[in-house]
């Protein structure tokens, strides 16, 4: 069974602890919101969970998986993740599939149409608006054939229509997954049944 366990977990930069003494288990099929003001460690914790960053203290375990294989089970959408600007929408999707397979029940064309990018399927991403890029990032994460979905401020740069699309994609295609959302926007994590306030694990700087 897929689960992610944090034991006495802490992360610091220089002498400042971003979070410390975090003990928590994320379980398959549950939906979690990481909340807290800017700088509370939401993005940092998501990167630790994804295996992109290491802990300064404590241990993270991914059930039967390890840091060398957990990436196969995890998809992530975040504002700081880059798309390849020279690629078209279709080329980006095909490139993504080389590393992270997508669901088999959707063709590339259906996926593109679903997120409102049909007219831009052969357009280079460098000419996309920030909202178009975010739609593509969300599609690649949500429709990846993975069991764990990590979302960091998923509706960044989206308009009202984009928010609705995000909520529809989550409710229709992702509710069976273990989902962790890092956000201060309640509309982004309204479906989450458990909330973790990272301010509860915040330690002032200069503490050893």
- pLDDT, tens only, 144-192: 999 999 999 999 999 999 999 999 999 999 999 999 999 999 999 999 9
Inter-CA distances, 205 with 17, 40, 78, 208, Å: 6, 13, 27, 9
Q: Which helix (H) or strand (E) holds 168?
A: helix 160-173
Question: What pTM did the predictor assign?
Answer: 0.93
CATH of domain 3-201: 3.40.50.300
pLDDT digits over 34-62, tens only? 999 988 899 999 999 998 899 999 999 98
Cβ neighbours for 200, distance < 8 A, ≥ 6 positions apart = none
How far is residue 41 from each of residues 36, 60, 129, 153, 176, measured CA to CA in Å?
8, 16, 28, 13, 26
């Amino acid at each position: 069974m897929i689960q992610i366990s944090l034991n006495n977990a802490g992360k610091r930069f220089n002498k400042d602890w971003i979070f410390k003494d975090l003990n928590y288990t994320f379980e398959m099929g549950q939906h979690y919101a990481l909340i807290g003001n800017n700088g509370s460690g939401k993005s940092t914790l998501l990167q630790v969970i994804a295996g992109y960053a290491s802990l300064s203290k404590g241990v993270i375990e991914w059930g039967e998986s390890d840091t060398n294989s957990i990436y196969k089970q995890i998809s992530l959408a975040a504002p700081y993740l880059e798309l390849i600007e020279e690629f078209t929408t279709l080329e980006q999707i095909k490139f993504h599939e080389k590393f992270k397979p997508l669901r088999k029940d959707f063709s590339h064309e259906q996926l593109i149409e679903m997120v409102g990018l049909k007219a831009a399927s052969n357009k280079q991403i460098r000419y996309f608006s920030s909202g178009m890029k975010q739609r593509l990032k969300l599609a690649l994460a949500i429709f990846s054939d993975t069991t764990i979905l990590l979302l960091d401020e998923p509706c960044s740069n989206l308009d009202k229509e984009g928010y609705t699309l995000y909520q529809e994609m989550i409710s229709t295609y992702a509710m069976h997954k273990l989902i962790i959302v890092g956000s201060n926007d309640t509309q982004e994590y309204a479906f989450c049944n458990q909330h973790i306030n990272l301010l509860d694990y915040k330690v002032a700087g200069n503490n050893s």
